[in-house]
């Protein structure tokens, strides 16, 4: 049976969050970060179910009370209690494929997460998916653990099987040093059902630890559309790289040989932490859920324009803004802390 990774706008059972806690790098700003997580929980539970990875029972109890205090329906929340190093669910979470001939047949793929090239400890995070699948997944789904390093934020796919990624990330020797580009493409054809590849060779975000994940730069939208970040400030350090990226996107062709519809997102003003480090604020790091798109905003003059552009890309969806300034202080954003679990993933999930 041939399987293909589902695009993010496919119907979902739930979204997975891995909750920050005192033993993570989030410890110093938990009071600022937890309200963002609660807001995400509220929006997600209005549309679908929610899976929360909790480091221990004490944290589960704390989260439950927090959500109860903010009127989140706990009947729509599933907890998995298992130790975790950090909270980047997009990168340690599972990728879910559906059979091309029958979308009700799912394959849950568990790649190796090595802390973005062994930059950070990830041993506990790398064990989460096996526990998640054992506790919550529908037993009719296939589960496959693979000996390949890959993060969910590093790949995008559309309904045609076109896989979008960056060469800086997937070809980086800190991931799979013994594999060539051809080797990696062959593996992604076999495991994710990719039929074509678009390699983005330019673009980065200062403060980004991921080696240029695609979900910070360019995203797929329905109807052969690419949504991407554009820098208009010639004095900004990103200007040249993002201009080169835009030119490359203009040359990409769809499976029918036509240019993609391109929708550019504005560039937020530079944001820095107390140590003077530039933080990776990007509007491209949004999350698609059932009927809505949750979009990070940064108290910036360009927030409203970003929301309008994303509405153009997803006209059938409600656009919901989420202030992610506290999140980017950990050098990621909204999409990075979430992972969608498509329809059929959870046992008995239909509500």
Q: What is the tens place of the pLDDT at every residue in 135-147?
A: 999 999 999 999 9
Query: Is 61 domain-assigned?
Result: yes
Model confidence, pTM: 0.97
Query: Is 138 domain-assigned?
Result: yes
Residues (pLDDT < 50) of the chain are 351
Please report, for the domain that includes residue 90, its CATH number.
3.75.10.10
198: left (phi over 0), alpha (psi -120 to 50) or beta: beta
pLDDT, residue 1, reads 76
How many domains, the chain? 1
Contact (Cβ atoms closer than 8 angstroms) between residue 284 and residue 217? yes
pLDDT, residue 62, reads 98
pLDDT, residue 349, reads 61
Query: Is 303 domain-assigned?
Result: yes
| Containing structural domain, residue 177 | 3-342
Query: Is 347 domain-assigned?
Result: no
Query: Is 15 domain-assigned?
Result: yes
Instruction: Give the helix ranges, DSSP H, for 52-194.
Output: 57-69, 89-92, 115-118, 128-136, 167-170, 181-192
Query: Is 320 domain-assigned?
Result: yes
Query: Is 351 domain-assigned?
Result: no
Contacts 24+ apart (CB under 8 A), 296-299: 296/322, 296/323, 296/324, 296/327, 296/328, 296/333, 296/334, 296/335, 297/321, 297/322, 297/323, 297/324, 298/268, 298/271, 298/323, 298/324, 298/325, 298/328, 299/323, 299/325
pLDDT, residue 211, reads 97
Query: Is 292 domain-assigned?
Result: yes
- CA 243, CA 228: separation in Å to the nearest integer? 11
């Amino acid at each position: 049976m041939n399987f293909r990774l589902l695009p993010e706008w496919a119907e979902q059972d739930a979204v997975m969050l891995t909750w920050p806690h005192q033993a993570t790098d989030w410890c110093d700003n938990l009071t600022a970060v937890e309200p963002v997580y609660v807001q995400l929980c509220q929006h997600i539970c209005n549309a679908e179910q929610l899976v929360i990875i909790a480091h221990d029972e004490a944290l589960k109890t704390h989260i439950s009370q927090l959500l109860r205090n903010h009127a989140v329906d706990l009947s729509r929340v599933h907890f998995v209690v298992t130790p975790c190093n950090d909270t980047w669910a997009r990168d340690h979470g599972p990728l879910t494929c559906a059979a091309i001939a029958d979308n009700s047949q799912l394959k849950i793929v568990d790649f190796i997460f090595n802390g973005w090239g062994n930059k950070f400890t990830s041993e506990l995070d790398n064990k989460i998916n096996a526990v998640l699948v054992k506790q919550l997944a529908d037993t009719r789904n296939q589960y496959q653990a693979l000996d390949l390093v890959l993060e969910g934020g590093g790949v995008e796919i559309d309904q045609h099987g076109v896989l979008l990624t960056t060469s800086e990330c997937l070809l980086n020797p800190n991931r799979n040093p013994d594999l060539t580009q051809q080797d990696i493409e062959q593996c992604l054809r076999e495991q994710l059902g990719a039929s074509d590849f678009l390699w983005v060779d330019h673009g980065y975000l200062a403060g980004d630890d991921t080696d240029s994940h695609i979900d910070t730069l360019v995203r797929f939208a329905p109807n052969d559309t690419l949504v991407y970040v554009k820098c208009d400030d010639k004095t900004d350090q990103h200007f040249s790289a993002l201009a080169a990226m835009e030119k490359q996107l203009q040359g990409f062709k769809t499976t029918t040989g036509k240019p993609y519809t391109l929708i550019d997102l504005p560039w937020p003003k530079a944001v820095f932490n107390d140590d003077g480090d530039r933080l990776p604020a990007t509007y491209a790091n949004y999350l698609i859920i059932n009927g809505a798109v949750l979009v990070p905003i940064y108290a910036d003059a360009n927030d409203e324009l970003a929301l309008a552009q994303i509405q153009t890309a997803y006209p059938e969806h409600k656009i919901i803004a989420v202030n992610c300034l506290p999140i980017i202080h950990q050098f990621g954003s909204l999409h990075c802390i979430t992972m969608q679990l498509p329809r059929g993933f959870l046992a008995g999930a239909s509500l």
